[in-house]
Structure 1
Amino acid sequence: MHSRSAMAMIELIFAIVIIAISVITIPTMMSIAGESAKGALIDDDVIARLSAQTIDKFQARWGGEYDVNSTREPKAYISNLSSVSDLNCSRTLGALYYRANPDSSMECNVSQIPLAIPSTAGNGVGDANGSVEWGLEMLNGGTETLSVTSSTGESIDINATYNVRYVSAAIVQNGNTETATWTLGSSGTIGNDNGGQLGTVEADRTHLKRVVVRFWNNALNIDNTMTFFKSNQGSF
């Protein structure tokens, strides 16, 4: 009789211990699950905001060599670089210049050449100051903080870091097939060339620019990358 009571007491103690562990553990597990769900939710909101941010930057000027104070409308021309085939404005129509590409209908200004992309971000002379009014190259190396509101109403700060490079627009022809290789950006190497060029040497400047945007918040383990390409082959 006493043996059974002792066993019952031991079972009760074990039950109390198990319940106590459960009471302590369940909130912790709920907290982990909540943070996980929160992270997934924020990540969805970030992707939506990043997409909008990327589209907004895509609409910026291809390059800053245009005269924004011109009275001519629109206030942009195609830039010319006679030594580079895909930037050569050798086709003429009267006194006007156009790209050799017959599909290009935007007028060239033969005195304007594509500029080198600034290597560092800042407000000094020759730096990328982030003002896309002066061309996409002004984003290079810069970081801006965006406020993203989640579906739960929580405001989250997300950083957007930019990389801009000239990239090859070469097309390889093989019979009836044409192929081109476009290298995307990478979060881990956001500051590197990754197959692109700053265009310090004129021969490295092409009509095609690649813009990589890294969207990140280390505290929330958010790290997304989007890439877009923009050409001024036939427009600005």
Structure 2
Amino acid sequence: MEVYVELTYCMNGILFIMTYEMISLLLNINWSFLKILFLSFLSNISIVLIYIDYLPYISFLYWIVLFLFIFKKQFFLYFPVFLIVYFSILFFINTLIKESFIYNGILITPINYKDIVIVVMTCVFLIIETIYLIYAKRKIKPKDDLYDVTLIFNNKIYHLSGFLDSGNHANYLGYPLIFIKKSKIDTYQQLDTLIIDGLKKRKIDIILVDQVLVNKQSLRNVYIGVLDELDYDCLLNKELMGGII
């Protein structure tokens, strides 16, 4: 049986891409395709480790370290899902290719005509899955809940795109809190700093904005929570927006 490292690397790379795309759909995570390719590339490095015969299950150890490094406290959320999805796809493809076998979590694929056809079909399925993922993200994008927001802060005007989050009930000192992405405003002096401990530890800087304009309505002296990471420029508060939107 002839086995080529290049084919093994490409085949398992496709499996990892399919795995991370499925994780993105199952957990409703807004991963870009470039991030999926990056995660797949890092995961696929485990193929090189199968040549270390005296250390069994080295691939699993590598994946554990990789997920701990990338996802940190979210490890216990992502890693079990990764194992379930990856090995489901892995065993399914293994049943289709008769002479293939699994070694340390890696699919070893032989070279013959029928198996090449299956590899091509897998690539076609990957393309279809990718197209569906892109289409779903564009279709589900909540454009109806996006509003033009103008912030007046420190004698500067910022024009942002705000998302009205019905689940945002955050408050500071009893006042509804709006969140903004840190990269969207210049330097500021925070009034307070909040630390949220959860799957991912987050720091929120609290500032007081002079004026906020939403839907041609004005709000004055509004508390804003500044976050390093946010899917939108601004996350509006349902309670604060009552009567305005």
TM-score normalised according to structure 2 size: 0.22
Q: Over alpha carbons, which structure has the higher Rg?
A: 1
Looking at secondary structure, tell me which structure has more helix per residue: 2
TM-score normalised according to structure 1 size: 0.23
